[in-house]
Structure 1
Amino acid sequence: MIVYPAIDLRDGACVRLMHGRFDQVTRYDDDPAARLEGFVDAGAEWVHVVDLDGAEAGRAVQHDLIGRLARAANVNIQSGGGVRARDDVAALLDAGVARVVVGSQAVAAPETVRDWLGAFGPDRIALALDVNVRDGVPVPALKGWTEAARIDLWEALARFPEGAASHLLVTDVGRDGALTGPNLDLLAEIVRRRPDLQVQASGGVAVAADLTAARDVGCAGAIVGRAIYEGRFTVEQALEAVR
């Protein structure tokens, strides 16, 4: 399993949201480059970087900063937020990002995103489906988690048949930043239905055992944010747990 320490950028600072709400922001530090270097020094091979301003605005906002981070550190960066056009994907890849995360467009414009996957390759793009679970049904959230899709997660995934995509990042919005543990039932169901996808768990990781639990249900990766920022465990301990 790959552990992805997270850097969520808002106004150039490292922050975390609670339940994806932009009015519930915790600011952790003002030097994302130092934070990134710390993750690299701890042994991280991948880091997950999100342009929260871009996600909220629906357009690229901090891609220049993300590019500087990608060029400055010897690490693979997976990044998204505000990716709405092919040029956004190309700009991030050209800046040195290893994999671009595409969220709302994967639900709103699947044909377009399939074209991007064909053009850039399925290993350079991760589909990111953020969901709210309603009466047991996972429903994708769009536009910085401010709107609900009219289809469920399974229909959204069906628009990317086997072979179209390789990476899927799934965030349970209700658990994001809440330190309540990942939604293992949902993750296991996704892995069961779509064994062709490398699933990344996001939302709720509180202790290192949550990472091994996600691995044990078949996840190929896990995003870790608040638990590391608040000292519940270190990047070193996370990496050791999943070895």
Structure 2
Amino acid sequence: MILIPVIDLMHGQVVRAVRGNRQSYRPIESTLCRGSVPVDVASVLCDHCASPLLYIADLDALLGRVTQVSVLQDLLRALPATEIWLDAGFASAEAARRLRDALGADGARVVPVFASESLDSRAELQRCFADAAHPAGRDGVLSLDRRDGQRLDAAGCWDAPELWPARVIVMTLERVGSDAGPDLDTLADVRRKSPGVFAIGAGGIRDAADLDRAAQAGAGAWLVASALHDGRLARVSG
């Protein structure tokens, strides 16, 4: 099981995500570090997990505000050996390409996360992962998003497994920061639709036992934040 640490960015700070209610998020309080400065929090999380990957949700962009380009550039400079998976509300492969260009040379280390809640259309889903003219999409990750049993999916991503890329995130937003345990039923449903996909879970991990259960259910990786900040997952030896 690969543990992928997560930071949620809002107004230049790391905030604590709880059940997908983004307007109510507050600056992070962590047992691992002081304060909510993105570089500090990201560095300690990657070190704690011995992770070459970091998942970033730019909540300003997801809420329709300006993308936090300068914060992302600071993180890329501070973590030169880290691959960044970025959800910035991309509606299209072209939007991801423009942001990677704006980030400069370090933008090549950004893997776009195309979320079902954000993509414009089924055609755009296909373009993201099949169009050779859009490398920002070709190497990206798809996030299948749902909350309270409802798919967040105007583009119809959930029902088009033939268009899914090799890596798919199963994002159950009401489980994020909830201490409710991982949503293994939805993970299993995604794996039934596309048995060969590398499935990455998101939300609900409370402790190492949950990670073991998720691995047994077929998850190859899991996005984690709250259990790390609360000291419920031990440091991973490098």
Equivalent residue in structure 2 for 1:49, among 49, 56, 72: 56
Question: What letter is aligned with 1:161?
Answer: E
SS of the aligned residue for 1:114 comes to helix
SS of the aligned residue for 2:181 comes to coil
Q: Distance in 2 between matches of 1:197 and 1:64?
A: 34
Q: Distance in 2 between matches of 1:235 and 1:117?
A: 35
Q: Distance in 1 between matches of 2:99 and 2:200?
A: 20
Question: What letter is aligned with 1:131?
Answer: R
Question: What letter is aligned with 1:216?
Answer: Q
Evaluate the alpha carbon distance shift between residue 39 and residue 18 of structure 1 in structure 2; reply closer, same or farther with a 3 A threshold.
closer
SS of the aligned residue for 2:152 comes to strand
Question: How far 1:92 moved relative to its partner?
Answer: 4.4
1:4-153 paired onto structure 2 within 5 Å: 4-28=4-28, 29-42=35-48, 43-57=50-64, 60-73=66-79, 74-94=81-101, 95-103=107-115, 104-106=117-119, 108-118=120-130, 119-120=134-135, 124-134=139-149, 139-141=150-152, 149=154
> Any gaps of 5 or more consecutive residues in structure 2?
29-34, 102-106
Question: What letter is aligned with 1:111?
Answer: A
> Any gaps of 5 or more consecutive residues in structure 1?
143-148
Question: What letter is aligned with 1:140?
Answer: R
TM-score normalised to structure 1 length: 0.81
Q: Distance in 1 between matches of 2:195 and 2:185?
A: 15
Evaluate the alpha carbon distance shift between residue 16 and residue 159 of structure 1 in structure 2; reply closer, same or farther with a 3 A threshold.
same
Q: CA RMSD in A?
A: 2.4
Question: How many correspondences in the alignment?
Answer: 221
Q: Is the 8 A contact 1:7 1:50 kept in 2?
A: yes
1:157-196 paired onto structure 2 within 5 Å: 157-161=158-162, 164-196=164-196
Q: Distance in 1 between matches of 2:159 and 2:135?
A: 21
Question: How far 1:123 moved relative to its partner?
Answer: 6.1
Cα deviation code 1:139-195 (max 9, x no counterpart): 3226xxxxxx5x8xxx63332416x51111111122111011101122122112211
Question: How far 1:44 moved relative to its partner?
Answer: 1.1
Q: Is the 8 A contact 2:93 2:127 kept in 1?
A: no
**Corresponding residue of 1:145:** none
Evaluate the alpha carbon distance shift between residue 131 and residue 13 of structure 1 in structure 2; reply closer, same or farther with a 3 A threshold.
same
Q: Is the 8 A contact 1:93 1:99 kept in 2?
A: no
Q: Distance in 1 between matches of 2:221 and 2:78?
A: 24
116-125 or 194-203, larger mean C-alpha shift: 116-125
* Residue 212 of structure 2 corresponds to residue 212 of structure 1: yes
Evaluate the alpha carbon distance shift between residue 170 and residue 24 of structure 1 in structure 2; reply closer, same or farther with a 3 A threshold.
same
Q: Which consecutive aligned stretches of 4+ in structure 1 deviate over 4 angstroms post-superposition?
A: none
Q: Distance in 2 between matches of 1:180 and 1:230?
A: 15
Cα deviation code 1:25-52 (max 9, x no counterpart): 1311331111222233331111111101
| Percent identity between the two aligned chains | 24
